A and B are shown apart, each in its own frame.
Chain A
Amino acid sequence: GENVEQHPSTLSVQEGDSAVIKCTYSDSASNYFPWYKQELGKRPQLIIDIRSNVGEKKDQRIAVTLNKTAKHFSLHITETQPEDSAVYFCAASAPRSSNTGKLIFGQGTTLQVKP
């Protein structure tokens, strides 16, 4: 069935370093890949997304890359700051369930940025 694997489950970096989170998906027909950030006790919020016709997208310190052939996509955060500490979720659209808006989420990565 449809599946999204996310790694690592936890990631600790020093402030100013870069952080990379990787996801793989199983459905080759998936065409939308959002990333959500969830701060402690809060709701998940979209931080960046990418569609299958684009290989890379940047927004200030965050970027997402997509490799459709390998069916994996990654989130890159540069110059990390303590406020980047949160749980990050990747997701992939589930197009075989047509026109439902469904997303399949990865298991999440807890990012800790040490001052």
Chain B
Amino acid sequence: DAGITQSPRYKITETGRQVTLMCHQTWSHSYMFWYRQDLGHGLRLIYYSAAADITDKGEVPDGYVVSRSKTENFPLTLESATRSQTSVYFCASSVAGQGLGEQFFGPGTRLTVL
């Protein structure tokens, strides 16, 4: 769906560098999420946001920072990348709270940390 996009789609970086993954949605969904996907672990929630300027930690937040100054954008920053952060990152958005609405996923960003 063109409604939620992620950039870059692929990124290679080195240990210790700062990396920002972008997520943009055009639906004005209130809720946005960042997941990482690793073999054997499924989708693990990093951070989520219920609205602009409201963010909270998920299951695996260490080493990540988020912000949400505008409803449509939800960037994820790795402050000092580590090899263990090599993963596929998915952004998602949802119109409904209380876990009652479909989450729409972006196409993903494959990040490699050397």
Contacts and interface: CB of A to CB of B under 8 A. Distances in A.
Interface in B52-104: 56, 58, 90, 94, 96-103
A103 interface: yes
Contacts of A6: 42
B105 A103 contact: no
B102 A101 contact: no
A80 to B, nearest CB: 22
B50 A99 contact: yes
- Determine the interface band of chain B, counting residues with CB < 8 A from chain A: 20 to 34
Interface in B1-57: 30-31, 33, 35, 40-45, 48, 50, 56
A105 B43 contact: yes
Contacts of B31: 100-101
B69 to A, nearest CB: 19
B40 A99 contact: no
A101 B101 contact: yes
B99 A93 contact: yes
Interface stretch (A38-46, A54-62, A69-77): A38-46
B21 to A, nearest CB: 15
Nearest to A2: B59
Contact of B98 (A89, A92, A99): A99
Given A101-B48, A101-B94, A51 B42 contact: no
A30 interface: yes
A106 B42 contact: yes
Given A93-B98, A101-B98, A43 B105 contact: yes
Nearest to B58: A102
Contacts of B101: 101
- Smallest CB-CB A-B distances: 4 pairs: A93-B99, A101-B31, A43-B105, A99-B97
Interface of A: 6, 30-32, 34, 42-46, 49, 51, 89, 92-95, 98-108
25 contacts: A31-B98, A31-B99, A32-B100, A34-B102, A42-B107, A43-B106, A44-B43, A44-B90, A45-B105, A51-B100, A89-B42, A89-B43, A92-B99, A93-B100, A95-B99, A99-B97, A99-B98, A101-B30, A101-B31, A101-B50, A101-B94, A101-B99, A102-B33, A103-B45, A105-B42
